[in-house]
Amino acid sequence: MFDGRLCKNGREFAVVDPGVPDGFRVDEHGNVWTSSHDSVQVFDPAGAPLLRIPVPEKIANLCFGGADGRTAYVVASTSLYRIRTTVRDAAAVLRA
pLDDT tens column, 61-85: 999 999 999 999 999 999 999 999 9
Domain count, the chain: 1
Per-residue confidence (pLDDT) for residue 2, from 0 to 100:
45
Per-residue confidence (pLDDT) for residue 8, from 0 to 100:
57
Domain that holds residue 61: 5-95
Enter the DSSP assignment of 78: S
User: Rounded mean pLDDT of 24-29?
Assistant: 93
Residue 96 has pLDDT above 70, yes or no: no
- Output the domain CATH number for residue 70: 2.40.10
